[in-house]
Structure 1
Amino acid sequence: MSGESDETRSGPMFGPMKSLLFLAVLWLPLSFFVWFNFAQLWVQPIAGLAGQVMGALFDGSFARTELTQHQIDFYFRVVPEGLRPVELGFDVNPMIYGYCIPVLVGLVMATPLSHARRALQIGVSLVVLIGVQVFGTVFDALVSMGIKPPEKLSMLAGSSPETLGAKPIARCADRGDCPGRHRLLLSVRLSGAAGDHPGDSVGRLQPGIHQEPDHHRGQ
């Protein structure tokens, strides 16, 4: 009896499962902290890969991607009938498709493995999960577009030559019939009116908000 008692006391404090849970509690918050605070760094490869996919899907219509902190804006060139060329922008938050990455890293770091096995597991898993994140980001952008070609979206910019593109989009947003209402953001750039630089945006419109170009407000 006394021998068994002494052997029990000298045994490990935690079993394998308790040790895993204890280390997971330590590693998971740290993984989420690093992942969220360096979000813009992790999103850059997602933006690049998603931009290549969109360029392949909409050759000639897709313009570029832009990063705003951890948001990705996809811009498409459209030419409404009787109007000058405009760009429609749809914003997507790719972070909502990447929660699995800090969970993976935290659990792998909590698992008792050699450094080589740990690095191999994280590396292979990241390739798969980044692909999943790119797929989710592209699909989200397509849903925001109403899964329509950019040429079909040119009707959002208006059909009258006397009308600036921003006003019809505001009316469309007020009616609630713009595609992808929940995360739709239309960024209109009138070539010639706003200059030839991609950053010279005339205005950003969100559903229910009228916003006119700055150089027309005083008129």
Structure 2
Amino acid sequence: MKSPIRELLVSSVLYLPLCFFLWFYSATLLVLPVKWLAEFLLLLWQPDLFNGITQSSFLFQVETLIFPKDQMGAVGTQVAVLDVSVNPMKYGYGLAVFAGLVLSLPNASTRNRILQILVGYVLVVLVQTSGVFWETCKSLLFSGSEAAFTAINDTGISHNLVAVMYQMSYLILPAIVPVVAWVLLNRRFVEQITNYNAFINQHKR
């Protein structure tokens, strides 16, 4: 009997490198919705604190309206403000993993694969947006200047909340969300694998 687990593993080994290549090659376009959504949330939350997000390739510069007291970056009559550099790609690698697993599904239709990858992309965009938002807050609160700390602290946001949400956005959500989504979207296949293992173990006794 052909093992669905072995077939999945072999296909994953073949598809994952390709998916990571395409994910990185298309990064500039893939992170555009992240930029728009993160910018919307930051401006909605604190319109007097943030000025927007600019994108260079796949990297973001979160522009603030925080003016350092020493004005070290000022040139002539220009007024210096603080910017936060964020790499949204470190929150989005799950898309390549998710796509590789979806493409590795045996006997799945092309339509089903495309729909699943779209669902996975939407979820990863939300994970990346969360990462950009909380990394911005974390950088200004814990890694910025005194003016940055004061600006974020004055919003009333909890320091512990910022720390916890940043850790979750960086360490947990990017790895867990795509895998859980794949399992939920392919519950029948997962059940098939489970039943196959039970069948094999039963006949080994």
TM-score by length of 2: 0.62
Over the residues paired in the alignment, what is the CA RMSD in angstroms?
2.9
Matched, 1:124 2:119: yes
Matched, 1:103 2:91: no
1:73 deviates by 0.5
Unmatched tracts of structure 1, length 5 or more? 1-11, 157-219
Give the count of matched residue pairs.
144
Q: Which has the higher strand share?
A: 1
1:155 deviates by 7.8
Q: 2:136 aligns with which of 136, 141, 149?
A: 141
Change (3 A) 1:86 1:104: same
Map 1:46-125; keep pairs closer than 5 Å: 46-79=34-67, 85-112=79-106, 113-125=108-120
Q: Secondary structure at the match of 1:60?
A: coil
Change (3 A) 1:131 1:123: same
Change (3 A) 1:69 1:151: same
Matched, 1:24 2:12: yes
Q: Is the 8 A contact 1:35 1:102 kept in 2?
A: yes
AA aligned opposite 1:143: K
Of the two structures, which has the highest relative contact order with CA contacts closer than 8 Å and spacing of 6 or more?
2
Q: Which has the higher helix share?
A: 2
Q: Structure 1 residues 139-148 or 67-76, which shifts more? A: 139-148
Query: Structure 1: how far apart are the matches of 2:149 and 2:141?
Result: 13
Identity of aligned residues (%): 31
Q: Is the 8 A contact 1:62 1:77 kept in 2?
A: yes
Could you list the per-position Cα deviations for residues 19-53 of structure 1 after superposition, in whole angstroms to 9, with x for gaps in the alignment? Answer: 11111111100000011122111122211111111
